[in-house]
Structure 1
Amino acid sequence: MKNKTMLKGAAAIALGGALLLGGGGTLAWWNAADSAAAGTIVAGDLNVEAAAGVWTDRAGSTIDISTYRVVPGDLLTYTQDLDVTLEGDKMAANLVAERTGAADGFDPASVTVSAPTLTVGGEAIENPLTTSQHVTASITFEFKSGTTARTDVGSSVDLGTVAFTLQQIQQPGLQ
């Protein structure tokens, strides 16, 4: 009789264990959840709007680039007013000249192209820009007087494609 009782007890324990493990039981890890108002992320803005640019010669006289014929010793300056929009925490950008390299027809042996000069209200500023502002950008093209023989005579380079571009960078000193 003792064996029968032990057998019934073991069967009851096994059945109870099976019920607990089989889905009707409470052998689960505790957990809880709650939510918080994390907020909204809003994207910043990087933009540049350009006014019509102006070409001038070494004397500062306005020229029509479509009809002007350069000669060695000429210095041409392209100046353009730009409305720069830089909105965002840690936003920074460099204002650079585009389409002014050797691949664009500017032979470094014959033409020196300067980096952009930037001013705000007549005061010189440096890259990188970190705030929205009205910027005047200038770049010079010096056609070297030491050009020999007939180098580049009759050459044509489309200066109408010169442009200023904002390139976002990581603001120096910030992570």
Structure 2
Amino acid sequence: MMKKTTKAALAVAAAGAVLLGGSGTLAKWTDSTTLTSAAVQSGTLDLGACVTTSGGGWYSQVYVNAPTNPNPLVYIPDITTYRLKPGFNYTYFCDSKVLATGPRLRANVTVDKTKLSGGLATASVDLRTYVTDQSNNLLYDSTAPTPNLIPVTSALNNTNLTAQVLFTIYPADTTSSGLTLNTTALTIDVKQLGLTPAP
């Protein structure tokens, strides 16, 4: 079975770095043929544009040095004019609809933080990325030893995957002033995994 990869652009920008270009839905991976008058069609693996229409976008949160943070997320209406401050977490969310059909389809989803650029991409701000499904199951965690935790299957067909970018400017940070985070190259990607032969 041929492996397929598809991706959708994350429409994000931070610390004055303006997003250049847009995002769109890539073509579906489909194929069909006929054999003895019976139609045969492959499965599909596709991602829609990663959009912020359902509560996504950029948020700030007062940092606490603890496993859980009780402080609320505060929406940032315009990240391009916002100025980051020490002592805060900054996070971005967007949703991408996945089309995944085929009874044995399995695929990894990633948001590769190495595609980020700018001074904050290499600063000591604990930059991390995640992907969750609509039930808040963690599919991808860039901080984990094995980042791909749960594969995409047909059970997630026609549902939203939520991509998250998160970083922290710590209270004692004296090195991040004036730095930017350029996110124009960041994407959410799905790549089909090899199939295990049927018994």
Q: Report if TM-score (shorter chain) is over 0.5.
A: yes
Could you list the runs of 5+ residues in structure 1 that have no partner in the other structure?
Answer: 1-35
8 Å CA contact retained: 2:98, 2:161:
no
When normalised by structure 1's length, the TM-score is: 0.61
Deviation at 1:86, TM superposition (A): 0.7
Map of 2:73 onto structure 1:
60
Deviation at 1:129, TM superposition (A): 1.0
1:113–1:133 distance in 2 versus 1, CA, 3 Å? farther
Between the two proteins, the alignment pairs up a number of residues equal to: 135
8 Å CA contact retained: 1:75, 1:140:
no
Larger deviation: 86-95 or 75-84? Answer: 86-95
> Matched residues, percent identical?
21
8 Å CA contact retained: 2:91, 2:165:
yes
Per chain length, whose mean CA-contact separation is higher, i.e. which structure has more relative contact order (CA < 8 Å, sep 6+)?
A: 2
When normalised by structure 2's length, the TM-score is: 0.55
For 2:190, which of 143, 166, 170 is the aligned residue?
166
1:146–1:102 distance in 2 versus 1, CA, 3 Å? farther
Deviation at 1:97, TM superposition (A): 1.2
Higher helix share: 1
8 Å CA contact retained: 2:115, 2:185:
no
1:102–1:165 distance in 2 versus 1, CA, 3 Å? closer
Deviation at 1:130, TM superposition (A): 0.2
RMSD, matched Cα: 3.0
Q: Of the two, which has the highest radius of gyration? A: 1
2:92 paired with 1:92: no
